Amino acid sequence: MNRFCFYIIVTLAAVALLVPASVEAQTASVALKGAVSETVTLSILPNSTHNNIDMNVVSSGTSVRMTLSGADAKSPVIRVPLIVRSNSGFRISAVVESKPSVLTQLSVIDVRATGTFVSPEAISDLVVPQQFDLRGLDEDASSITSSSPLDVSRPLFVVSGPRVSVGGTLDSPNNALQITLLIRLKPPLGSGWLVHLTFAGTAVNLF
């Protein structure tokens, strides 16, 4: 009888230990967390040409480098359709190397979505510094000029905004923001001119 009771006690003790462990194993959960890298890409619409201006464009994902040159002594007016795709907030700055030419204007004159995979907030919440913002004016924005040179000793903050693309890929035609920039230069008298202009995009958290 004593040995039988001993076996019963051992069995009950084992059951008491295994049942909570089994219940805990069945109710345990696993949480998987992942993150998509923040991406901002810039490009320029192909076939963006201007009379009497030679343009060479090199895109490298997050930046676009333009080399502009000409021989005309008149102040050239250049429109640049900058294409922006991002899965996060973004900020775009411009670095200008324009000696001996002088940059007198860098303005945002138009912003539009290229398709249905562009977030509505990409346009409504876009931020453009007041000195560069010519949106909403008449189409002949080139008539608005300034003879004062811009300070290009440091990068110029051009525009920032929330996420642009809500779908598609880096090559999709309908998930980008097209930001049209107006650039005006003052060439030196009696000689040709050459300008290097680099737009760089960075991912930022706006909230």
pLDDT in tens, 33-51: 445 688 999 999 877 767 7
* Residues near 79 by beta carbon (within 8 Å), at least 6 away in sequence: 48, 50, 109, 180, 181, 182, 183
Residues 75-111 pLDDT 10s: 788 899 999 999 999 999 999 997 777 889 999 999 9
CA-to-CA dists, residue 92 to 33, 164, 167, angstroms: 30, 13, 21
- At 33, list the tokens: 């967390």
How confident is the prediction along the chain (207 residues), in pLDDT tens digits per residue? 544 444 444 454 554 555 444 444 444 444 444 456 889 999 998 777 677 788 899 999 999 999 988 887 777 888 999 999 999 999 999 999 977 778 899 999 999 999 999 999 999 999 999 999 999 875 555 556 666 788 888 999 999 999 999 999 988 999 999 999 999 988 877 677 889 999 999 999 855
What is the pLDDT, as a whole number, of residue 15?
A: 45
- At 46, list the tokens: 């192909």
Q: How many CA atoms lie within 13 A of 131 on its CB side?
A: 11
What residue ranges do the domains of the chain occupy?
40-204
Residue 113, strand partner residues: 177
